[in-house]
């Protein structure tokens, strides 16, 4: 098939059907890009945004440079109300609506269960879509004592023991 007769829209639909690629309209932008250092293994160069170097949960590309991937947020952060963005690689102007997500690469990133928790001492490995939930309830996060006058911060896993048993500022039943 000759590419001369293809319009931009037919090029997009051909890419979408043949390479398991979808337009950005279905993007879930709630994912957080993480530095490569947060992964124990499995990250390839292709999984990293060419602008911020983080592993992006939703890699997108422009049709002018279909083999170079970026974070959606990196490409559109300075855009404002203007729908036109410049390709960081070749400076070709493009409409932000023509950003395309590579679902095969996205699935590979989501399949990695090698994301390390940010709290020291925690050995849990998560996927890029579950790491935020884990971090919020990780037993290795620091938490301040709730007793009035106590300035101790301890690990969440030791929090109940500290607040109810060890803390000098805790109220005993007689004091209540």
- The span from the CA of 55 to the CA of 33, in Å, is 5
From first to last of its 176 residues, what are the pLDDT tens digits of the chain? 333 332 233 333 333 334 444 444 455 555 688 999 999 999 999 999 999 999 988 899 988 888 899 988 888 877 666 678 888 899 888 887 778 888 899 999 999 999 999 999 999 999 998 999 999 999 999 999 988 999 999 999 998 899 888 898 887 655 54
**Main-chain dihedrals φ then ψ at residue 124, nearest 5 degrees:** -70, 135
Has this prediction a pTM greater than 0.95?
Answer: no
Any idea which residue has 């020291």 for tokens? 120
């Amino acid at each position: 098939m000759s590419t001369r007769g293809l319009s931009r829209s037919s090029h997009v639909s051909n890419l979408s059907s043949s390479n398991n690629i979808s337009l950005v309209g279905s993007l879930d932008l709630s994912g957080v890009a993480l530095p490569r250092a947060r992964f124990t293994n499995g990250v390839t160069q292709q999984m990293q945004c060419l602008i911020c170097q983080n592993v992006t949960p939703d890699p997108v590309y422009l049709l002018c440079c279909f083999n170079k991937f970026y974070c959606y947020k990196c490409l559109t952060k300075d855009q404002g109300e203007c729908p036109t963005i410049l390709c960081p690689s070749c400076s070709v102007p493009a409409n932000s609506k023509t950003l395309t997500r590579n679902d095969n690469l996205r699935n590979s990133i989501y399949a990695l269960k090698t994301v390390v928790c940010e709290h020291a001492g925690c050995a849990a490995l998560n996927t890029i879509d579950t790491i935020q939930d884990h971090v919020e309830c990780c037993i290795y996060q620091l938490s301040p004592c709730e007793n009035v006058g106590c300035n101790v911060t301890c690990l969440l896993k030791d929090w109940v023991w500290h607040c109810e048993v060890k803390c000098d500022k805790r109220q005993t039943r007689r004091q209540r």
